Structure 1
Amino acid sequence: MTSLWNKIPRVVYYMDLLEPVVSLGKWFLGKAKDTDSVEKFENELASYLFLDSIKCLSHARICLYYALKSYENQEGDEILMTPINLPDMVNMIRILGLKERFVDIKRSDYSIDLVDAKNKLSEKSKFLFVTHLNGFIPNMNEIEKFASDHNLILIQDTTQNFGAKYNGMPLESFGEHSFFSLCDLKVLHTHMGGALVSNVKERKIKVEELTSNELKSLRFSYLRKFLVEDLIANLILNRIFFNFFVFPVLKLITFYVGSQNIQDLTNGKGVKFGKVVFLKGLFGGGGDVLSEEVPADMLYKYSSLQAEIGLKRLSYLERVEKRRIYFAKLCESKLTIPEKNRFKRSEQEHVFWKFPVYCEDWITLQKYLMDRGIDSARSNLPCLSDLDYLKSSDKTPVAQALVKNSIYIPLHFYLKDDEIEFVIDAVNKYFEGGGE
């Protein structure tokens, strides 16, 4: 059970507390400017995931940018895309003169609704961009067939499905391009970064050509922000510091200004007290911004500094993944909540990057768990079709409801078995008591 000594944070940070300090030292040794270790990391990462090759870039969104740029596109070509992702993904699309069309997802497992996708097809439809969420594995045969039947180029964001397989095949082996993030809160965290998988030789060559010509060395002024974020996040999520300082502060903020303020902080919007906003831009970049070009600082070469962190992570990643998946399966088997609050998944080997519970009265559930020392949260990814500044006319009501009403239960790999049992018991008791 939880006590004064072991409150449970909402998220886990896959990085050592001193790693940002070590990276600062490596910067002065020139590791951020050389790429000597990058190829080794790319090869070992590809081997770990049973893939032929991987190209590491600065961010996941930059992976999307170069994946799209590797084609001969016409102004106004359309991308059918699932709507739960970073807003900056839309920037990458629009910068290239393309147009996004948001496609709804299924309530059962967050996978793309191909019926809605078919309804939104047009003569300009060229790409199908699917983001897989929560570690749930969709029916890739159906998705690939849909793309083939309608002459669409399939691109996947597998960030939350790292290491997942469909019928024994890596998810990234489907489609022409796939990518995943290597930034904060990801199981393979290298301060920042993204990994691009290109399955078509012609596209792979084009990506190499583009990145060789356009990418520069990593600048310290850009790296510094991520080092600071990582240092602060590690401190905040340190179990002792979280117990005695962060958790009480979270309760106070939630009580006085609402839980949305905590989510705004992690999205880069800061914490608002009255008309004053604090810590804006600390995490996530500082809010909703439309860009006309890719920021120059983002166009950097993945560095040895990052690659060496990645190589270290790979050495124990399998153990971490197995532990988290074990806890998720245990939770799934022991939860006695109503079917309407569960998610129905296929028989695939899901990797459970997150464990959501659907609850329209999520605020009450969150407070109930917090009173028992369990910090929980909704997704920090928005439903993009709902963002007013994007001015989309596409309707995605299921995605909107899932973003609004899904709350994630913390099942971190480092927790003890009795702590996981305590979390499961708390969720069950909430619903047994009439919670919805």
Structure 2
Amino acid sequence: MIPRGRFHVSLTNLLKALIWLPFSNMENDDKVLEVKNIFNDKFGFQNSFFLSSCRISFLSILEGLEIDSNSEVLLAPITIPDMVNAIRISGHTPVFAELNKASHSLDIDSIEQSRTDKTKVVLLTYLSGFIPNVEEIKEYCDKKNLILVEDFSQLIGASYKGKPLGSFGDYAVASFSIGKTVTAQVGGALIVNKRGNEAKNILAKAIENSMEAPKKSFFYSQLVENTKIEILTSPLVFNLLTGPALKLVAKYFPDKYLGIHKSGVVNRFNEKDLFFDDIPIKRDKFKRELFFKFNNYMAKLLLRSIREWDERKSKRADNLSYFLKEFGGSCPSYIGEGIFQKDVFPIRVAVNCRNPKLVQLKLISHGIDTGTYGLNLCHRESVFKDHETSLPVAEGIHKNCIFISLHEKVKKEDLARAIRVLKEVLVEN
């Protein structure tokens, strides 16, 4: 059996993090610089700053930019609501742009169609491990005097034509949340690739936005919930308990299975979680608790994740090669086109389905748990109705894609069975 996703951290490390927590001083941050330098050396950056989250990193950039108020910021509609909120809180206007079907990302055509004289910033988010032609996009942005900000949260460590993602834009942001391949449980990075007063202003804002110490209670609740999830998705428990339970739910209550990510049980925890991404809320400001500094405890967790990154990446690459060999040759039309590009770094495979709900239910009946885009389709969220627009390609991607995990913890024999069943299901549907 295969769960729809697992954390890129072991149960042992989660338990160690719980043990370390009571003895950690949340005020101390003297070890962060050392870990930041290791991060920069490992992933090819010159100047980075660690904050509480990706959204606060993005907010710091927007607050420090030397642009007029009410400037337009182009972004993908598939994103977390708080990236939209960061634009609004900083006094600017979010403008959702169409996605490229192959890369699940903005491209030059969509930027050109959406930009106006008020457009000053482009947020280029890499989704599903696909990489657009960021080199051409950067050249276009330079030509049009647009500031390019990369969000490489799902692609930390990936490169395009030998150059690290996060180093193409004027600035970049990334998340270190629990679901990312490089994680500190929470946290985020701000990458500064420019020099000058504007860059200094942004770094000053980053420091201003990370002055307070985080509360241990927040980390404790995160770790407890994440440990539960890791146990429930571990091979033994998933095969004997979680997987069979999901099969029963899908058989007798299919709507509950298909909506499990947003179920009442899940949301009761999520509503207490400062960083939960999916709940669409229109904010006039971020809660003060979000503006905490990146401390030694977080740095220790991040360092462990960085040290394990190469091995995990190698296993994911093996799973991708196997999937493309066994599945891609016979059913290429079903797979997101971007996965066949040279520069690709997926932790899961996007499969285009005519009837994704039926395919999901068929797959879970064979013990293969699949997910869809967990990120919101923000231009259709009622809280952002002032920015609503028609983006049929993005809506089709969000509606029709299901994801097969290529996680480093997925065994070859399980992946082989998933491929066999997926072929059968897609042919039938």
TM over 0.5: yes
* 8 Å Cα contact 1:189-1:310 kept in structure 2: yes
Q: Which residue of 1 aligns with 2:405?
A: 410
* Cα deviation code 1:261-307 (max 9, x no counterpart): 21214xxx646xxxxx8655367267221111121111000011111
* Cα deviation code 1:73-110 (max 9, x no counterpart): 32211001111110111111100111000001111221
1:321 aligns with 2:319: no
The structure carrying a bigger helix percent of its residues is 2
* 8 Å Cα contact 2:331-2:423 kept in structure 1: no
Which residue of 6, 10, 33 corresponds with 1:12? Answer: 6
Which letter does structure 2 place at the counterpart of 1:294?
Answer: F
* 8 Å Cα contact 1:217-1:300 kept in structure 2: yes
* 8 Å Cα contact 1:20-1:227 kept in structure 2: yes
- TM value normalised by structure 2: 0.92
* Cα deviation code 1:130-165 (max 9, x no counterpart): 101111121112211221222110001111122111
Most deviating of 95-104 and 236-245: 236-245
Distance 2:399 2:265 in 1: 20
SS at match of 2:74: strand
Distance 1:213 1:196 in 2: 14
Over 3 Å counting, the alpha-carbon distance change for 1:305 and 1:295 in structure 2 is: same
Distance 1:206 1:389 in 2: 31
* 8 Å Cα contact 2:152-2:173 kept in structure 1: yes
Q: Which residue of 1 aligns with 2:47?
A: 53
SS at match of 1:173: coil
Distance 1:138 1:380 in 2: 21
1:337 Cα deviation from its structure 2 partner: 5.1
Q: Which residue of 2 aligns with 1:430?
A: 425
* Cα deviation code 1:300-330 (max 9, x no counterpart): 0001111111111222210101110221122
1:221-236 matches, cutoff 5 A:
221-236=217-232
Over 3 Å counting, the alpha-carbon distance change for 1:207 and 1:221 in structure 2 is: farther
Most deviating of 205-214 and 122-131: 205-214
Q: Which residue of 1 aligns with 2:262?
A: 264
Over 3 Å counting, the alpha-carbon distance change for 1:315 and 1:302 in structure 2 is: same
* 8 Å Cα contact 1:9-1:242 kept in structure 2: yes
Q: Which residue of 2 aligns with 1:158?
A: 152
Q: Which residue of 1 aligns with 2:333?
A: 340
SS at match of 1:189: coil
Which residue of 217, 237, 243 corresponds with 1:241? Answer: 237
* Cα deviation code 1:328-371 (max 9, x no counterpart): 12212221554432222364331113211000211121122112
Q: Which residue of 2 aligns with 1:374?
A: 368
1:30-429 matches, cutoff 5 A:
30-202=24-196, 203-215=198-210, 216-254=212-250, 255-256=252-253, 257-265=255-263, 270=265, 279=269, 281=271, 284=276, 287-335=279-327, 336=329, 338-345=331-338, 347-391=341-385, 392-429=387-424
Distance 2:278 2:156 in 1: 27
Distance 2:260 2:311 in 1: 31
* 8 Å Cα contact 1:130-1:157 kept in structure 2: yes
Which letter does structure 2 place at the counterpart of 1:263?
Answer: H
Over 3 Å counting, the alpha-carbon distance change for 1:214 and 1:363 in structure 2 is: closer
Which letter does structure 1 place at the counterpart of 2:124?
Answer: V
Which letter does structure 2 place at the counterpart of 1:313?
Answer: S
Percent identity over the alignment is 24
1:225 Cα deviation from its structure 2 partner: 3.1
Distance 2:270 2:203 in 1: 36
* 8 Å Cα contact 1:13-1:237 kept in structure 2: no
* 8 Å Cα contact 1:222-1:297 kept in structure 2: no
* 8 Å Cα contact 2:246-2:364 kept in structure 1: no
Over 3 Å counting, the alpha-carbon distance change for 1:281 and 1:417 in structure 2 is: same
Distance 1:125 1:286 in 2: 27
Which letter does structure 1 place at the counterpart of 2:114?
Answer: K
Most deviating of 147-156 and 247-256: 247-256
1:206 Cα deviation from its structure 2 partner: 2.3
Distance 1:286 1:83 in 2: 13
Distance 1:112 1:286 in 2: 21
* 8 Å Cα contact 1:81-1:128 kept in structure 2: yes
Aligned residue-pair number:
420
* Cα deviation code 1:198-250 (max 9, x no counterpart): 10123443233223334211122433332233222222222222222222332
SS at match of 1:195: strand
Distance 2:358 2:209 in 1: 50
* 8 Å Cα contact 1:337-1:431 kept in structure 2: no
Distance 1:286 1:406 in 2: 18
* Cα deviation code 1:35-87 (max 9, x no counterpart): 12211111111111122232111111111111111213322110011111101
Distance 1:9 1:282 in 2: 25
* 8 Å Cα contact 2:169-2:193 kept in structure 1: yes
Distance 2:49 2:270 in 1: 32
Structure 2: which 5+ residue stretches go unaligned? none
Distance 1:361 1:286 in 2: 23
SS at match of 2:149: strand
